[in-house]
Amino acid sequence: AQKITQTQPGMFVQEKEAVTLDCTYDTSDPSYGLFWYKQPSSGEMIFLIYQGSYDQQNATEGRYSLNFQKARKSANLVISASQLGDSAMYFCAMREGNTNAGKSTFGDGTTLTVKP
Amino acid sequence: EAGVAQSPRYKIIEKRQSVAFWCNPISGHATLYWYQQILGQGPKLLIQFQNNGVVDDSQLPKDRFSAERLKGVDSTLKIQPAKLEDSAVYLCASSLAPGTNSPLHFGNGTRLTVT
C-alpha cells in the first residue's frame, strides 16, 4: 500500500494568494514524523517544515504551515502569500520511528505553478 | 555548514557499462541515504546506512547495484551493468540521526542517462 499519497499532480495559484497541497499517509507506527520538501527546477531538495506525530499544535515556518489532522491521517501544506519563487515540485515525506528505523518514504509530489 | 557533496553532476553511459557515484555527507551526520528519482516521480529509497552499517537495502537491485560507506563517512553507489531503466537522478541525503524528527539534507544529485 502507498504510504504517502499526494493526489494533486499539478496546482496553479495566483501570486499573493494562499494554496493548500494535500498529503495523506498510512502507518500503524505511533511514532512518526511528517516532512515537506521543495524541489525547484534546479533539482536540489529543500526541507521546509516538520510535524511530529505527538505534536499537539500545527507546525508553522514563516509562510509555510502544516495542517495536521491525525485522525484523518492527513498533513497538508499551506503556503500563504504565494511568490513566483514558490513555483516548484513539493514532496510530502514520512519517517517511521519504531517499525522502519527512520526510513523516509516520499510521495510522488505536486507541481505548483505560481501565476503573476 | 558545508552541505552534502555529490559527484559527478551528470553522467552519460551506454547500457551494460558500469558507473559509480560518490557522496560526502554533512560532517557528523550518522545516517546516509541513496535515493533514485525517476523524472516526474518521488525519490525512492535504495539504501540507508547508519554509520557504516546497512539499515535498509530492501529496494536495492542487488544483482546490479552495490553501495558501501567506508569508515562511516563517504559513500559510493555503483551500477554494473547499467540498463536503460536506470536513467534517473541519484540523490544522496544525510541526517544527524535516524530519529523521526530529523530532516534529510540532500545533495544536488547525479543525473544519469543510459543510452
Chain A hits for B44, CB-CB cut-off 8 Å, are 106
Q: Choose between B1 and A80: higher pLDDT.
A: A80
The answer to whether the CB of A72 falls within 8 A of the CB of A23 is no
Q: Is B91 on the interface with A (CB under 8 A)?
A: yes
Confidence band for A101, pLDDT divided at 50, 70 and 90:
low
Neighbour-count burial of B1, counting CB atoms closer than 10 A to its CB (0-12 exposed, 13-18 middle, 19+ buried): exposed
Q: Please say if the pLDDT value at position A39 is more than 80.
A: yes
What digits encode the pLDDT tens for the residues B9-59?
999 999 999 999 999 999 999 899 999 999 989 999 999 998 889 988 999
Residue B9 to chain A, least CA–CA distance (Å): 11
pLDDT at B98 over 80: no
CB contact (8 A) between residue A35 and residue B103: yes
- A15 and A82 Cβ atoms separated by less than 8 Å: yes
